[in-house]
Structure 1
């Protein structure tokens, strides 16, 4: 087989294999790993409950003169669900967006989202946190003795119920210990975010955490873990399970622990933060902020909604993680938002965005399709050369190149445009996977939530069918039977994986296939016309 033609085929197969591997890896490898990890964590928690039902004590390393953490023990309630006992709650704050519950140690015990679209599979309003996780705004003192005392001394709240639905309200939490008084002053706003000022008397050093990430949707499709933004605007993401040891970071603008759609964020854009990242028992990242004896910052606990984050601060939109292709994905999402502001429907917005992407990439697609048609026309002559010079590869290659040059064909033209479109696909994949704006967004008839799978599998089947049609009308110069079989099964494989994909992503792929079919049909007709004119 000709070397260039063989390379062209190998690159085309490689491109498709990348797609299949990308989908299969997430579905067959990542999901089982996450399920196994969740089972292990649950088993560890049950063991702790049996051995020490009241407290679980771990140690943090001692701090140095620079203020790194020292010898701080923690206490975590041995509960396994999101239910928080009433006796643990000292204050309940209601904003326009959420209900925030503060526990006896001055921590955020639970956040319940109030907007109608944020409901779980049972129809209940979504709660962000597990009862037994590291809780936001937990304080740990550098002095071990004070720290132990603090975990056994309840705070006094200035009010047990606060209504911040229409205007900002202030809550003061006071914890009186033998050698210091810890005071937290929280200002809650109707949009659900807060400002916090914390201080300890007698210059007692302490640390404060934004807690473990929300545990609502940590699935195989999107990243979940921790992200920080530094003064130089660099972003660092550490996924759950990837932190093996303590790490100190300075010059931090914000730190966010997040799952697919929700985040717990602490930020200060006027005075940067210093933090220490610590792994938990499952190597998940936990952030502890160096407070000294006092600190001020702002925070947010809730959905990673682009407009809400933008309203707080433009830089907070970086909380939304798009992975490797952020440089393409972020402007793409801004365009998606812009289109939706006029269209008003996320489903049709995805359709329009898909068409725009196809138009922008049309020159690449056109060149690739033309090249494939030319190669198909030249296939008989290529086969003649291969048979004539089957024992002399050098002459075979030389005559092939002459043939390509004479007819203006490019053996790489068919797959290079496809390869160049891979970053675009991955970017739109990340955008649609991470966009909480799609949650609860209807399209037509049976599609009531674009963030969930199509309940009747209509879109995946249509996607598979259009992929099959596209394959049938696309010129194919492959002689190898195994390669042909691989391509024939691709629509079936893709349909299978897309059965469980969010409807919004499947809609994108389906519309993309439709327009690719239209483009290919048009180019095929042009070649048929030229062929007829020659005859």
Structure 2
């Protein structure tokens, strides 16, 4: 097969792959995700109605499905399982204490669990302009304690805690809240210390030695979509990260040497951590095969926790290793330093929108040598296209001579049939890293840019940026030399700006802004190279 045919085959496969990927995303959005969201909204409405009927002295029933319980780590305890208890629906009368910090309000229910966390900063509002709340009413709640002894566990879910105070103000200084649960054979004392920045320390102690489990709770359910991962993330002593995504849990997994356990959605987390003494954690599936994490305790357990947005600066202040709670996927090794640089630029620029513009320009300048080589190669191939076609016609019955003649032609004119693809392939990791950074950066929440863009983490309300992005992509195509020989491939390629525009309608404005600026500077680079080639052609004439 000739190099040119090889090149055309690769281009065709790239086009087909691109269209298949986008078709999948669009089909998933409208045929799978949307019906799921509608069904979930209906289910939540039913759960809310049921929760309002729950009285303060009611407790969830204890399930006897032992195979669904987390298995004990060898040597940790003598029992093999812990009973599973469904979460108690929240009603106003079930709140035992309320804790207010500078960033959030914690509601502690009558079983000593975190029933709800409301974010207090003005930028954290939902589409109804109400302050964001992290948790659903009927789900596994953070700081729930379960016992391996079935009798104690059953009694614990029927016995209210006694709070040392009903209202705690931790906006200025750290404050302590003590929750005491007196059972027939043991007294459970849960001491919570809250800090102004929203994080807390928790110590769970039993009056007699008992094996118990403390959970992070089910992940926040503020923004769960097809574009970002959500589930459970654990960091081990060796620095490795282990992720269990929603819907993927098949069996209970037990891990030792755990530094932190994070239940997360796209922007928010409920995390428990201990960097001084590592934890043992069991991860079990719920009815939807979603992960639920339980930290092993034996008589006395101390950890720290945080429930809120995955803000890089705050997590770094709590502990530099906690920034690993922000997960960027396969290209994390590139995305992490890129976000640090983005944040560095923002400290000087002061506006996240213009910071994205500046980052895009800087990256385009750094990658310009690669882009230049690719664009020059495409221009040379365009110039040689008529000669290549003549050779294909001349040697249509002798592929070997055709291949040799074309190789000689490429060598004579310094052209590389793969020269346009390789620079692009080398830039793909950078583009994906930026994509993941802008997709997962909660810092863009509530960040204004200009005029109509009041939140870079939300879609453009008037679709101006997606349309500009599509138009710039169309113009970029017109300026870029097209080496495709097949007319059908050309038409498919020309249709891509429409597909991309439609796809970006619901993307965060910050991400669309990056893509638009990237296109604008690519157009500038292509125009410059086209001008250079035109001048060279004029000189040769």
RMSD of aligned alpha carbons: 2.0
Q: Show the counterpart of 2:524.
A: 518
- Could you report, residue by residue, the CA deviation over 1:150-172 in whole angstroms, capped at 9, with x for unpaired residues? 00000010010010000000010
Q: Show the counterpart of 1:8.
A: 7
Q: Show the counterpart of 1:444.
A: 450
Aligned-partner Cα distance in 1 for 2:257–2:389: 64
Q: Show the counterpart of 2:83.
A: 72
- How far residue 269 of structure 1 moved from its aligned partner, in angstroms, is 0.2
The verdict on how the C-alpha distance between 1:43 and 1:119 changes in structure 2, with shifts beyond 3 A counting, is: closer
- Could you report, residue by residue, the CA deviation over 1:331-350 in whole angstroms, capped at 9, with x for unpaired residues? 11111101111000011111
- Is the 2:235–2:261 Cα contact (8 Å) retained in structure 1? yes
Q: Show the counterpart of 1:474.
A: 480
Aligned-partner Cα distance in 2 for 1:72–1:214: 23
Aligned-partner Cα distance in 1 for 2:481–2:138: 58
Gaps of 5+ in 2: none
Aligned-partner Cα distance in 1 for 2:86–2:462: 47
The verdict on how the C-alpha distance between 1:444 and 1:40 changes in structure 2, with shifts beyond 3 A counting, is: closer
3-state secondary structure, aligned to 1:417 = helix
Q: 2:397 aligns with which of 391, 397, 401?
A: 391
Residues 26-35 or 158-167, more deviating: 26-35
Q: 2:95 aligns with which of 89, 99, 102?
A: 89
Aligned-partner Cα distance in 1 for 2:423–2:17: 15
Q: Show the counterpart of 1:354.
A: 360
- Could you report, residue by residue, the CA deviation over 1:192-223 in whole angstroms, capped at 9, with x for unpaired residues? 00011111122111111010000111112211
- How far residue 24 of structure 1 moved from its aligned partner, in angstroms, is 4.1
- Is the 2:104–2:118 Cα contact (8 Å) retained in structure 1? yes
Aligned-partner Cα distance in 1 for 2:310–2:85: 29
- How far residue 425 of structure 1 moved from its aligned partner, in angstroms, is 1.5
- Is the 2:62–2:154 Cα contact (8 Å) retained in structure 1? no
Aligned-partner Cα distance in 2 for 1:427–1:25: 21
Q: Show the counterpart of 2:506.
A: 500
- Could you report, residue by residue, the CA deviation over 1:103-140 in whole angstroms, capped at 9, with x for unpaired residues? 00000001000000000111110111111100000000
Q: Aligned runs of 1:106-505 on 2, under 5 Å? A: 106-505=112-511
Aligned-partner Cα distance in 1 for 2:42–2:457: 31
Residues 18-27 or 398-407, more deviating: 18-27
- Could you report, residue by residue, the CA deviation over 1:216-274 in whole angstroms, capped at 9, with x for unpaired residues? 11112211111000000001111110111111111100000001110000000000000
- Could you report, residue by residue, the CA deviation over 1:452-473 in whole angstroms, capped at 9, with x for unpaired residues? 1111111111111111111011
3-state secondary structure, aligned to 2:208 = helix
Q: Show the counterpart of 1:28.
A: 27
3-state secondary structure, aligned to 2:371 = helix
3-state secondary structure, aligned to 1:198 = strand
- How far residue 25 of structure 1 moved from its aligned partner, in angstroms, is 3.1
Aligned-partner Cα distance in 2 for 1:283–1:40: 17
- Is the 2:254–2:282 Cα contact (8 Å) retained in structure 1? yes
- How far residue 17 of structure 1 moved from its aligned partner, in angstroms, is 4.6
Aligned-partner Cα distance in 2 for 1:229–1:40: 33
Aligned-partner Cα distance in 2 for 1:232–1:41: 38
Gaps of 5+ in 1: none
- Is the 1:20–1:494 Cα contact (8 Å) retained in structure 2? no
The verdict on how the C-alpha distance between 1:302 and 1:182 changes in structure 2, with shifts beyond 3 A counting, is: same
- With the length of structure 1 as denominator, give the TM-score of the two structures: 0.95
3-state secondary structure, aligned to 2:306 = strand
- Is the 2:86–2:140 Cα contact (8 Å) retained in structure 1? no
- Is the 1:56–1:76 Cα contact (8 Å) retained in structure 2? no
3-state secondary structure, aligned to 2:331 = helix
Aligned-partner Cα distance in 2 for 1:231–1:178: 38
- Could you report, residue by residue, the CA deviation over 1:384-414 in whole angstroms, capped at 9, with x for unpaired residues? 1111100011110011001101110000001
3-state secondary structure, aligned to 1:288 = strand
- Is the 1:249–1:276 Cα contact (8 Å) retained in structure 2? yes
Aligned-partner Cα distance in 2 for 1:471–1:527: 17
- Is the 2:47–2:138 Cα contact (8 Å) retained in structure 1? no
